[in-house]
Amino acid sequence: MASMNRVTFRATMAQVSVPASSANIGPGFDSLCIALDIRDHYAAQILDEATFDVDVTGEGSAEIKKDKNNLVIKAMLKGFEFMGAKPTGIALRALNVTPHGRGLGSSSSAIIGGLCLARALVLGGEELLTNEDVIALATELEGHPDNVAAALLGGATIAWMDNTTQTEKSVGRAVKIHVDESIKAIAFIPENHLATSKARKLLPENISHKDAVANTSHAALLVHALSHRPDLLFAATEDYLHQAYRAEAMPKSAALLKKLRAAGVAATISGAGPTVLVLHTGTDLDADDIIHAAGEGFTAKKLAISAQGVA
């Protein structure tokens, strides 16, 4: 099968898995993100019939659209369009593991999964749709490049909007940075959801110059702490830009964040929340102590940092 531009589709099924991600990591608002070893799994195949055959199981499956408006399908179609391909139909199977609406990058997983499925289903797709292209397209769908970058590249990423291109629009860009192998994570996941759009509405239009300087210095320190000096993670994860302003939307998460940081634990709100993420270099027993000290009301998951992104 081929499109009007002679792009040739693969006859076989393509499969990808995509890690969860935790954005901001304290001071790195909309720019720093880390991939976590929770993986969503997607499989797709091109159909001769003009239909979208979508089946979803796992997290959030009851609420997810199962037609052309499915986010994975939307991302696939955007990727195909970029490559000059137009499939007749698509069969999609998704197994969602990443909790939805908890600040762990579930929408970014779907977007990266869809774009990378599209790339895998086209002969020569790696040349037609590069990682740089994937991040740019994913940013258009997601609205910001941080989570999609970590989902694609793995490890920790620095993302930004590039305004220096010849086009009129800003383009999402990202680079991967090394994460010290001793760093591990604990995610404290509450039952309640919080929409990113709602969390963003709580942010002020302006902040003080003092807070801006503090956040800039801590974000810069965080890059060094993640890659070379994990002992600086507690200081580096201090935020002055967004977490305090969003506390009213997630009081239990804000209380846990305050409790953990008062005990010297490098805790942050994961993305827009309400999950609380802890980064540490301790043993499994140390992690158990942190979980015990946190108390009830959250599902605690001990997680590795996912060095690999989409696979």
Summarize pLDDT for 48-73 with one digit per residue, the tens: 999 999 999 999 999 999 999 999 99
pLDDT at 121 over 60: yes
Predicted pLDDT of residue 5: 54
In contact, 17 and 120? CB cutoff 8 Å = no
Instruction: Pick the more confident residue, 60 or 112.
Output: 112
Q: What is the pLDDT of residue 168?
A: 75
Q: List where CATH 3.30.230.10 sits in the chain.
A: 14-177
Q: Which residue, 246, 147, 142, 259, is CA-closest to 194? A: 246
Predicted local distance difference test score (pLDDT) of residue 248: 92
pLDDT at 269: 97
Instruction: Name the least confident of 55-59, 166-170, 211-215, 268-272.
Output: 166-170
pLDDT-based confidence at residue 306 (cuts at 50, 70, 90): very high
Task: From 214, 240, 222, select the one nearest 279 (Cα to Cα).
Answer: 222
> What is the rounded average pLDDT of the residues 206-230?
96
Where do the CATH 3.30.70.890 domains begin and end in the chain?
A: 184-304
Give pTM, 2 decimals: 0.94
Contact 60, 106 (CB under 8 A): yes
Helix 71-83 crosses helix 106-120 at what angle (to 10 degrees)? 40
Domain 14-177 has CATH 3.30.230.10: yes
Whether 61 contacts 45, CB under 8 Å = no
pLDDT at 4: 45
The mean of the pLDDT values for the chain is 94
Choices 3.50.30.30, 3.30.70.890, 3.50.50.60, 3.40.50.620: CATH for 184-304 = 3.30.70.890
CB 257 within 8 Å of CB 170: no
